[in-house]
Amino acid sequence: MASKSEVYKARILKELCFGKMLSASEISVRMQKSLPLTVRMLNELVEEDVIIEKGYAPSTGGRRPQTYALTPGRMYAIAVAMDQLVTKIALVDLQNFERINERRFSLVLSENPQALDELVQLISSYIREISVPFEKLQGVGIGMPGFIDITKGVNYSYLDNQGKSLHEKMEKELGLPVFIDNDSSLIALAELRAGDALNKSNVMVINISWGIGLGMILNGSLFRGYNGFAGEFSHIPLFNNNKLCECGKSGCLETEASLKVMVAKAQEGMRSGRVTSIKFLPDDIEEACKMVINAANRGDQLAVELLSDVAYNIGRGIAVLVHIMNPEQVVFSGRGAAAGKLLLPPIQQALNRYCIPRLAAYTHLSVSDLNKDAEIMGAAALVVEQLDKRFTNRKSSSKNHPFAA
């Protein structure tokens, strides 16, 4: 059982992640602890080489306070970003959230009973390759698609484990704390901690990918709903198109607004002889998607048209969100955000058509700078979020871990 001082130290480390530099008084106020106790904990962490003194803050009229930051290369997270087709793994330095040795793997989740074992093997092999001492690894954060109960550790859509906890299975095999969450929720977490939603209270984060995900930030915190299933934006029934969605229903938003639909329509347009600078599209849908978005950014007429159609339909869905949630900002993130500001005019056009002007007027639209990196950063942030709960509980030395030499 961790002592109170150990838990407090872990909370201090949480505050110093994301490249923050804070003084003892700032930490004391954030933690609602006395300044003498905070200074003592900081001195102990400095002696342990977990944090370093970063010099004095600018003067505000009195004695300049000493500032502190995490020691570079001292605390890492293994961050895993998954979608239905591709899994990315990176080592993330929690001092500045630098991604190191990022790797990309093909891992199909649908109708793949071996997907969980394959995922564990990929992460295991990756940990062996990086050769970072286990005492520096604070855990594994995993973003994945599907209906996820983060308390039970169950994904009801993919990675079947007979209803048993994915946490427990993976922790046993990896020897590290493991945390899972929905991919769109983690993208929103990344935006909240280090992106466009930083210091904002009510933000909707749209994950434009093979579906259209939604992460909701309400009153400055990530909102997951009653049992973690909030944000199934992709499956709002907006169209009478008789197109079957992967959820089993028809007419869902993603049947007209996903990047998968955009690529399919690009292929159809090329087959029908539409004029375009795109010479061919590969079978790899991720590469094909990049080619269409890059062509749109170059001004290719077909690509711009297809992207505009996707964005306009997303805007129709956002009109519903604005009416219900009245957000101060809507952030467009995920791989589709690589299209940049091309997304905004058709989305705004849809809001002009479908949204009450008084509501739309107070909602700011932005395209994330994190885009395709957001889920990896969110997975690392998920480990940080749990630091005070799990950091002090892992007492075993590296020789007890399965990857130790």
Give the three-state DSSP class for 70.
Answer: strand
Torsion of CA 218, 222, 227, 233, to 10 degrees: 70
Q: Model's pTM, two decimal places?
A: 0.89
Torsion of CA 328, 183, 221, 68, to 10 degrees: -110
Closest alpha carbon to 369 in 328, 331, 316, 325: 331
Query: Are 368 and 155 contacting, i.e. CB atoms less than 8 angstroms apart?
Result: no
Give the three-state DSSP class for 51.
Answer: strand
- Calpha distance 91→127 (Å, rounded): 9
Query: Are 278 and 303 contacting, i.e. CB atoms less than 8 angstroms apart?
Result: yes
Domains of the chain: residue spans and CATH: 4-70 (1.10.10.10), 76-186+376-400 (3.30.420.40), 197-369 (3.30.420.40)
pLDDT (tens, 9 = 90+) of the chain, 405 residues, equals 567 888 889 999 998 987 789 999 999 998 899 999 999 999 999 999 999 998 887 766 667 889 999 999 999 999 999 999 899 999 999 998 889 999 999 999 999 999 999 999 999 999 999 989 988 999 999 999 999 998 899 999 999 999 999 999 999 999 999 999 999 999 999 999 989 999 899 999 999 999 999 999 999 999 988 888 888 899 999 999 999 988 889 999 999 999 999 999 999 999 999 999 999 999 989 899 999 999 999 999 999 999 999 999 999 999 999 999 999 999 999 999 999 999 999 999 999 999 999 999 999 999 999 888 899 999 999 999 988 876 444 444 444 444 443
- Calpha distance 342→293 (Å, rounded): 10
Given phi > 0 = left and psi -120 to 50 = alpha, else beta, which region is 177?
beta
- Burial group, residue 30, by CB count within 10 angstroms (0-12, 13-18, 19+): middle
